[in-house]
Structure 1
Amino acid sequence: MTATHHTPDLFALSDIRGPVLRPGDEGYAEEVAGFNLAALHTPDVVVAASGADDVVAALRWASATGTPVAVQATGHGANFPIEHGLLISTAGMTDVRVDPERRTATVAAGAKWRDVLAASAPHGLAPLNGTSTDAGAVGYTVGGGLPVLGRTYGYAADLVRSFEVVTPDGLPREADPAHEPELFWALRGGKGNVGVVTSMVTELLPLRTVFGGGLHSPGENAEALLKAWAEWTRTVPEEMCSAFGILRLPPIPQLPEPLRGGFWARVAITWTGDPDEGEQLLAPIRAAAPVAVDLVEEMPYTAMDRIYMEPQDPLPARESCLLLRELTADAIRAFLDEVGPDVPDCPLLVAQIRHMGGALARPARAEDAICARDAHHLLETVAVLPSPPVAAAVERATASLHTAMAPYGTGRTMVNIHGTPGDAADRARAWTPEVYDRLRRAKRTYDPHNLLRFGHTV
Structure 2
Amino acid sequence: MTLDVSELARNIAGPVLKPGDKGYEQETAGMQTAFPREPDVVVGATGPNDVRAAVRFAVDNSLPVAVQGTGHAFSTLRGGLLVNTSRMNAIEVHPRKRTVRFEAGVRWAQVVEATAPHGLAPLSGSAPNVGAMAYTLAGGMSLMGRKYGYAADHVRQIDVVTADGRYRHVTVDNDPDLFWALRGGRDNFGIATAAEVDLVEVDQLYGGGLFFDGSIAGDVVPAWRRWTDDLPDEMTSSLGVVPFPDIPPIPEPLRGKHVVHIRIAFLGDAATGEKLVAPLLTAGSRLMEGLREMPYTEAGTIYNDPTDPMPYHGTNAMLSDLDDKAIQTLLENAGPGAQHKFILELRHMGGAYGREPEVPNAVNHRDAAYALGALSRIGPVDLPTAVSAHADLANAMAPWSIGCGLNFTYGDASPDDVRAVYNDQDYRRLTELKSRYDPENLFRLNYNIPPAR
TM surpasses 0.5: yes
Partner residue of 1:364?
357
From the superposition, tell whether residues 162 and 186 of structure 1 become closer, same or farther in structure 2 (CA, over 3 Å).
same
Partner residue of 1:414?
405
Partner residue of 2:288?
293
CA distance in 2, matches of 1:149, 1:372: 18
Alignment of 1:356-435 (within 5 A): 356-386=349-379, 389-410=381-402, 412-435=403-426
One-letter code aligned to 1:371: N
Conserved 8 A contact 2:69-2:85 = yes
SS at match of 1:207: coil
CA distance in 1, matches of 2:144, 2:415: 32
CA distance in 2, matches of 1:179, 1:386: 48
SS at match of 1:323: strand
CA distance in 1, matches of 2:32, 2:447: 15
Conserved 8 A contact 2:122-2:200 = yes
Q: Flag structure 1 segments of 5+ consecutive residues without an equivalent.
A: none
Conserved 8 A contact 1:321-1:380 = yes
* 1:17 maps to 2:13: yes
* 1:157 maps to 2:149: no
Conserved 8 A contact 1:95-1:111 = yes
One-letter code aligned to 1:452: F
Conserved 8 A contact 1:107-1:199 = yes
Partner residue of 1:442?
433
Q: What is the aligned counterpart of 1:64 among 38, 60, 80?
A: 60
Q: Displacement of 1:10 after TM fit?
A: 4.2
Q: Displacement of 1:449 after TM fit?
A: 1.1
Partner residue of 1:231?
226
Q: Deviations over 1:403-439 (max 9, x none)?
A: 11110111x1011212234432232001001111111
* 1:29 maps to 2:30: no
CA distance in 2, matches of 1:42, 1:7: 14
Alignment of 1:134-149 (within 5 A): 134-149=129-144
* 1:457 maps to 2:448: yes
Conserved 8 A contact 1:13-1:58 = no
- Give the alignment's TM-score, normalised by structure 2: 0.96
Q: Deviations over 1:185-231 (max 9, x none)?
A: 01111121101000000111111111111100111111111111111
Conserved 8 A contact 2:128-2:300 = yes
- Give the alignment's TM-score, normalised by structure 1: 0.95
From the superposition, tell whether residues 390 and 9 of structure 1 become closer, same or farther in structure 2 (CA, over 3 Å).
closer
Conserved 8 A contact 1:320-1:381 = yes
SS at match of 2:254: coil
CA distance in 2, matches of 1:116, 1:39: 29
One-letter code aligned to 1:346: H
Q: What is the aligned counterpart of 1:353 among 342, 346, 354?
A: 346
Q: Deviations over 1:333-356 (max 9, x none)?
A: 11111122332x3221x1111100
Partner residue of 2:193?
198
Q: Number of paired residues? A: 449
SS at match of 1:347: coil
CA distance in 1, matches of 2:246, 2:172: 49
CA distance in 1, matches of 2:334, 2:155: 37
Q: Displacement of 1:13 after TM fit?
A: 4.3
* 1:42 maps to 2:19: no
Partner residue of 1:314?
309
Q: Displacement of 1:251 after TM fit?
A: 2.6
CA distance in 1, matches of 2:259, 2:385: 21
Q: Displacement of 1:359 after TM fit?
A: 0.3
Q: Displacement of 1:40 after TM fit?
A: 2.5
Q: Displacement of 1:9 after TM fit?
A: 4.8
CA distance in 2, matches of 1:86, 1:226: 45
SS at match of 1:56: helix
One-letter code aligned to 1:370: V
**Any runs of at least 4 consecutive aligned residues in structure 1 with deviations exceeding 4 A, and if so which?**
none
Conserved 8 A contact 1:421-1:427 = no
One-letter code aligned to 2:341: P
Partner residue of 1:219?
214
CA distance in 1, matches of 2:111, 2:424: 35
- Which shifted more, 423-432 or 167-176? 423-432
Conserved 8 A contact 1:323-1:413 = yes
CA distance in 2, matches of 1:253, 1:284: 32
Conserved 8 A contact 1:96-1:107 = yes
